């Protein structure tokens, strides 16, 4: 098995993590209209990397619709340090870069189609309004085993059937990755 793709044995669920998630669940953004300007924590599951990707985003202004691209915040900045780019299947930023300051003025960024897509923030990631309870939850989530992360991020039941599906998905992604390299 490739080191990047790994999964641990099915064990008991961490109740503390589940209780922490239930505390912050009310801050989770589930509808496009609820995503407004402000500070958010964005969590994305990555099966091929060592852990989940956590980014703190500052969304400024209002989301707008551009023909053919969907709703997005053209003025979105990553406040997390050490995350130079965000390369995933579902890109968060249309440039592939969290720092769009090198592009120039806000109007130019908006015209070029940069920013954070609302659909990606809500559908493929967990987007939670920033507060201290959310920060504690994310720290616990980063330390949790991958399968528990998978269940919480995708809101799946913690069962043996879900675990078997998860293992199959990891093995399939590893096979696809090995085929492309």
Domain range annotation of the chain: 15-180
Render pLDDT for 76-102 as a digit per residue (tens, 0 to 9): 777 765 443 333 323 344 444 444 444
Query: Regarding beta strands 75-78 and 70-73, do their DSSP bridges make them parallel or antiparallel, or are they unpaired?
Result: unpaired
Q: Are 147 and 2 in contact (CB under 8 A)?
A: no
CA 121, 124, 128, 133 dihedral sign is: negative
Q: What are phi and psi of 132, to 5 degrees?
A: -65, -35
pTM confidence score = 0.76
CA distance from start to end of the chain: 15
Split at pLDDT 50, 70, 90, the class of 166 is very high
Burial of 74 (0-12, 13-18, 19+ CB in 10 A): buried
Q: Which residue, among 43, 46, 72, has the nearest Cα to 56 in the 3D structure? A: 43
Q: Which of 62-66, 133-137, 175-179 shows the lowest per-residue confidence on average (mean pLDDT)?
A: 62-66
């Amino acid at each position: 098995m490739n080191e990047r793709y790994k999964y641990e044995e099915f064990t008991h669920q961490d109740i503390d993590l589940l209780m922490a998630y239930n505390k912050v669940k009310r801050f989770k953004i589930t509808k496009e209209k609820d995503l407004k300007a402000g500070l958010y924590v964005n969590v994305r599951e990555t099966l091929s990397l060592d852990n989940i990707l956590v980014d703190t985003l500052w969304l400024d202004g209002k989301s707008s619709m551009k023909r053919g691209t969907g709703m997005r915040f053209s003025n979105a900045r990553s406040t997390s340090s050490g995350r130079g780019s965000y390369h995933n299947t579902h890109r968060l930023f249309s440039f592939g870069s969290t720092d769009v300051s090198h592009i120039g003025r806000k109007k130019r960024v908006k015209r070029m189609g940069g920013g954070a897509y609302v659909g990606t923030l809500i559908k493929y990631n967990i987007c939670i309004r920033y507060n201290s309870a959310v920060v504690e939850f994310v720290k616990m989530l980063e330390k949790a085993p991958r399968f528990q992360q998978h269940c919480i991020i995708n809101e799946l039941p913690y069962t043996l059937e879900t675990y078997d599906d998860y293992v199959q998905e990891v093995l399939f992604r590893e096979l696809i990755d090995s085929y492309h390299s």
